Structure 1
């Protein structure tokens, strides 16, 4: 049996072998290396006048799948809340499980991010917004996502706080988020707060990206050994949005200069909303994968309303990147894709996107690399 060393990010965990040489018998195709199953399963179908957005998946040790998303189904006064659903059959069917946000009666709760704690607790970060008041909130479940309680407030502001991305680095809980609080010096920057007591208390805010010419947002991150990699969308590459990456080798004390991950050749087109995953092997270099939505193949219109989902990969720690491969070549508005590893031993993955007024899951498989000891 091949051995893998998996790293966890705020949004996705993915096992990927990305060279044809490492995948004997798997021919290259327009879809890249992933063999996608036909059809998709539905997490939720919103009724007319309602919607569900921004899905994120988490696989629990007991085999259950959780999906978190924001929705106005069941929300009061036109607001949105965070709903968690569960699947007991590997994502084929779903049922609502618990509401994970608090304060949504008077504000919009959105942008959920899931992480599994060392003790099996489920942590869920989200943003809570009402006019002139912005918060990054944290909820926790001690019963496998069946119920949630409020745990803490990660950050507060008056200009704009968005898109938390949660995960663990050793015994610290980290939350990255997009902040407009330092405008006009930084139009929007990626900030970090960390907790050393399981999310109860938080250390002072750290400014991670520092580009006065860019509106940086939609952070996604992963840990490989002692390195932390962070991907985000930026606005300073000549396109409406492009994907950039930075990394830290000292626990987030210092960060590298940004590197370009992907931008469309047509400067009118965008690549946005990245999701980052990482794999470290016992003998070879780490592999980084970034999925994102892009309108570059749409000849009729531009913008996040006209995107499909692609991915690129790096085999050298982010120094160079592949061309882009389709993940889901169907155009839907604002797909905000998430990925999760559903079966490490067999390289099975699941993709979830916003598909109109539905949230859907599509399953795929990437054959694992051959066992070097066999």
Structure 2
């Protein structure tokens, strides 16, 4: 049987851990920084288009009762950017833009859309021309009767394509707060068999056992190297910096009870990504970067971080741009930027 390089690395790391020795380190060297959107922008997320270009979504804040999503495109592996299109809904605040490219090349744009205290929706738009134009596709879930409450919303949708072709979306969900027992916030998941046109009923996949004031949320899923899935989430309520934990699933649908395993050096708004080489990277509003080479069982902190900002609601995300190349997209002083880095595995 031929042994792959990834398998060999995993065996070496496992042997070192069994011997009580630390796993060999992943080294990251941070380099250049580019600006994606400088126009009073926030919340940046990226996706690689079928033709190899990169698409970015950011949030714009024109004022009053509307916020919009700006789409920008890069032809040179994310080094320079230009505006491409925009999505807006009259008198509604759009944010938490999430891009996903389906196997057939269609691009999905998920978002939260709200009127404060009146209407909360997670909407999906689709593009058949790689982001130049968008059409409404579906509403994943909604709350149209929040009774004036600003804490009965749905937030931060993130897509993952499961191994059987099912499209998953996970999100923060406040709509169970009026139940008995009451769950201040939970992580919910819905599934689509038709590329996001229709969605299954919501399933709760992370909650405070027995109910209470804890607020698990801001979930992000990725494929776990070697099979299965890993999800990171924050839990607010007791600690204002919202500790981060992770959960694993064999199939992306079946999740253990509870809030998961704590992840050190990460706080608030986590984001996780698995590289093509099998290394997992996590970042968060603590603005540290962590890596794992054993499918997320153990984590180590990169020194120095990509963005030495300390704890700040900058909503970073980590992205792979090529073999051995990653970047962290972040909100810095009202602009959305990327800092690139190269990583080397032992």
Q: TM-score, normalised by structure 1?
A: 0.76
- What is the aligned counterpart of 1:136 among 122, 131, 136? 122
SS of equivalent residue, structure 1 residue 360: strand
What corresponds to 2:46 in structure 1?
Answer: 57
* Mapping 1:14-33, distance limit 5 Å: 33=27
Q: How big is the shift at 1:274? A: 0.5
Q: 1:246 to 1:109 in 2, by over 3 A?
A: same
* Number of equivalences: 313
SS of equivalent residue, structure 2 residue 80: coil
1:122 matched to 2:111? The reply is: no
What corresponds to 2:21 in structure 1?
Answer: none
1:275 matched to 2:271? The reply is: yes
Residues 173 and 187 in structure 2, CA contact (< 8 A), matched pair in contact too: yes
SS of equivalent residue, structure 1 residue 366: strand
Q: How big is the shift at 1:259? A: 3.3
Residues 332 and 355 in structure 1, CA contact (< 8 A), matched pair in contact too: no
What corresponds to 2:298 in structure 1?
Answer: 320
SS of equivalent residue, structure 1 residue 202: coil
Which consecutive residues of structure 1, in runs of 5 or more, have no partner in the other structure?
6-18, 265-269, 295-308, 370-374
Residues 36 and 72 in structure 2, CA contact (< 8 A), matched pair in contact too: yes
Give me the whole-angstrom Cα distance separating, in 1, the residues matched to 2:258 and 2:185: 17
Q: 1:93 to 1:152 in 2, by over 3 A?
A: same
Q: How big is the shift at 1:77? A: 4.0
Give me the whole-angstrom Cα distance separating, in 1, the residues matched to 2:120 and 2:83: 27
Q: 1:133 to 1:310 in 2, by over 3 A?
A: same
Q: 1:153 to 1:180 in 2, by over 3 A?
A: same
What corresponds to 2:31 in structure 1?
Answer: 37
SS of equivalent residue, structure 1 residue 293: coil
1:92 matched to 2:79? The reply is: yes
Q: How big is the shift at 1:321? A: 2.4
1:111 matched to 2:108? The reply is: no
Q: How big is the shift at 1:278? A: 2.2
Residues 239 and 263 in structure 1, CA contact (< 8 A), matched pair in contact too: no
Q: How big is the shift at 1:368? A: 5.5
Give me the whole-angstrom Cα distance separating, in 1, the residues matched to 2:280 and 2:237: 23
Q: TM-score, normalised by structure 2?
A: 0.82
Residues 71 and 80 in structure 1, CA contact (< 8 A), matched pair in contact too: yes
What corresponds to 1:298 in structure 2?
Answer: none
Give me the whole-angstrom Cα distance separating, in 2, the residues matched to 1:254 and 1:35: 35
Residues 223 and 229 in structure 1, CA contact (< 8 A), matched pair in contact too: yes
Q: How big is the shift at 1:92? A: 2.0
Residues 352 and 361 in structure 1, CA contact (< 8 A), matched pair in contact too: yes
* Mapping 1:351-366, distance limit 5 Å: 351-366=328-343
What corresponds to 1:156 in structure 2?
Answer: 142
Give me the whole-angstrom Cα distance separating, in 1, the residues matched to 2:82 and 2:41: 14
Deviations 1:161-193 (A, max 9, x none): 111111211311111110100015111111011
Q: How big is the shift at 1:37? A: 1.2
Give me the whole-angstrom Cα distance separating, in 1, the residues matched to 2:256 and 2:298: 18
Q: 1:259 to 1:315 in 2, by over 3 A?
A: farther
CA RMSD of aligned residues (A): 2.8
Residues 110 and 128 in structure 1, CA contact (< 8 A), matched pair in contact too: yes
Residues 314 and 320 in structure 1, CA contact (< 8 A), matched pair in contact too: yes
Residues 276 and 289 in structure 1, CA contact (< 8 A), matched pair in contact too: yes
Q: Which has the higher contact order (CA 8 A, sep 6+)?
A: 1
Q: Which moved more, 1:121-130 or 1:324-333?
A: 324-333
